Amino acid sequence: MSSPLLETYNRVNLTFTEGSGAWLKSSEGNYYLDMGSGIAVNSLGHANLELTKALTEQAQKLWHTSNLYQIPSQIELATKLVDSTFAEKVFFTNSGTESIECAIKMARKYQCEKGEFKKTDILTFEGSFHGRSMAAISATGSEKLTKGFSPLLPGFKSLPFENSDMLEKLSFEDVCAILIEPIQGEGGIRRASKGFLKKLREICDRTGALLIFDEVQSGVGRTGLFFAFEHAEVSPDIVAVAKGIGGGFPMGCCMSSAKIGESMAPGSHGSTFGGNPLACAVGISVLEKIFSSGFLASVSDKGLFFKNQLHDLVKKNPSVFGSVRGVGLMLGLKCIKENISIVRHAQNNKLLVVPGGDNVIRLLPPLNITYDEIEEAIRRLTKSASDATGDE
């Protein structure tokens, strides 16, 4: 049957009608344990009571006015972000791609305002994913995303991941910024080492390039710290955020230091929807939870518990899984069997996991998942592994 939708996704034949916490109910009345959270989006689970209350209360008052007027909840949300992170300036967007666009524009503008007119190149890394706009696919540079969309935007160079020697040999005369995910999400939960991130900071300090972290997937508590880069004790100049910050409501933001933010004067950038009252009401509610006492520590603890069980799972199923990756509740299982087939077996066992690059399956549960649910996920993964062992 032909669909009225662009066929840009290979959707599985599964429809969900409602959800609660880490559980989704299908149109056939089955309950699925959701270890994907809509790709790291439903950070506080489905139908979260506080978020629902924040959204519906706001919906009864005011939905949208535009950025022509004052939006106090934007300032409240931005203040929460600024008070708890490296950043001093925040721009609100509606998606990860838009946050990346803002980050790239801001980096270029900053160099231009400084009179560094040659500094326009953005360096990125193999296996990265930064979104689907022309700039974002040009940044990623992989054939899979760019084929058929030429001409790509100039000024982007993709480098090998984790190769410091190669970076040392480059001239940085024309380099505006380095853009990197501290943990690649789509690329298969590939974590940049502390040493590599420190090296990038050092090169940027030496050459005047800016360091941009794409924390669209890894940020907002997912790894047990607010940002994944905090594990490496490296401070960026600009960070792109989205996915988890809206808990399911489409929103994102781009954050920077004051000196970089100040290069963006009135008229230099904008968004009709960005930071509207509905989004901000939800964002504030998400951050209240994430920043509440003990919450991030609980994400770390659950992440460790989950990771230990996954190590066992790998040991017991060496023909199916190769290794465990990631930190906090941003975990991956490198597969020996084809990852897509394991995703399918998991689905048959009413467990939702997300495939990633490098033959990995991603486990990105809601951050408030319970220990019992983690154990249930392990039981379903164990069953899925034994089902996969039966294939040949």
Ligand X SMILES: *Cc1c(COP(=O)(O)O)cnc(C)c1O
Residue 362: strand pairing partners? 332, 354
CB of 128 to ligand X, least distance (A): 8
Nearest 10 degrees: Cα torsion 283, 241, 234, 232: 90
CB of 134 to ligand X, least distance (A): 13
CB of 355 to ligand X, least distance (A): 14
Tell me how far apart the alpha carbons of residues 392 and 388 are, in angstroms, rounded to a whole number: 8
SS3 261: helix
Whichever of 46 and 130 has its CB closer to ligand X, that residue is 130
Whichever of 42 and 95 has its CB closer to ligand X, that residue is 95
DSSP H or E run through 361: strand 360-363
Whichever of 119 and 236 has its CB closer to ligand X, that residue is 236
Tell me how far apart the alpha carbons of residues 48 and 283 are, in angstroms, rounded to a whole number: 13
Whichever of 96 and 283 has its CB closer to ligand X, that residue is 96
Whole-Å CA distances, 295 to 54, 143, 290, 371: 19, 40, 6, 14
Whichever of 119 and 243 has its CB closer to ligand X, that residue is 243
Whichever of 228 and 290 has its CB closer to ligand X, that residue is 228
Whichever of 45 and 96 has its CB closer to ligand X, that residue is 96
Please state at what angle helix 72-84 crosses helix 277-290, rounded to 10 degrees. Answer: 30
CB of 28 to ligand X, least distance (A): 28
Nearest 10 degrees: Cα torsion 197, 295, 249, 82: -60
Q: Is the dihedral of CA 49, 27, 34, 216 positive or negative?
A: negative
DSSP 21: B
- Is residue 245 within 8 Å of 252, Cβ to Cβ? yes
Tell me how far apart the alpha carbons of residues 35 and 298 are, in angstroms, rounded to a whole number: 17
CB of 38 to ligand X, least distance (A): 11
Whichever of 141 and 337 has its CB closer to ligand X, that residue is 141
Q: How many CB atoms lie within 10 A of CB 235?
A: 16
Q: How many CB atoms lie within 10 A of CB 26?
A: 14
CB of 27 to ligand X, least distance (A): 25
Chain position whose Cβ is nearest to ligand X: 96
CB of 8 to ligand X, least distance (A): 12
Tell me how far apart the alpha carbons of residues 387 and 392 are, in angstroms, rounded to a whole number: 11
Among all chains, which residue has been given the structure tokens 């190149």?
121
CB of 36 to ligand X, least distance (A): 13
Site of interaction with ligand X (CB under 6 A): 95-97, 100, 129-131, 181, 185-186, 214, 216-217, 242-243
DSSP H or E run through 332: strand 330-335
Whichever of 19 and 357 has its CB closer to ligand X, that residue is 357
CB of 214 to ligand X, least distance (A): 5
Which of these, 45, 69, 151, lies nearest to 365 by C-alpha position?
A: 45
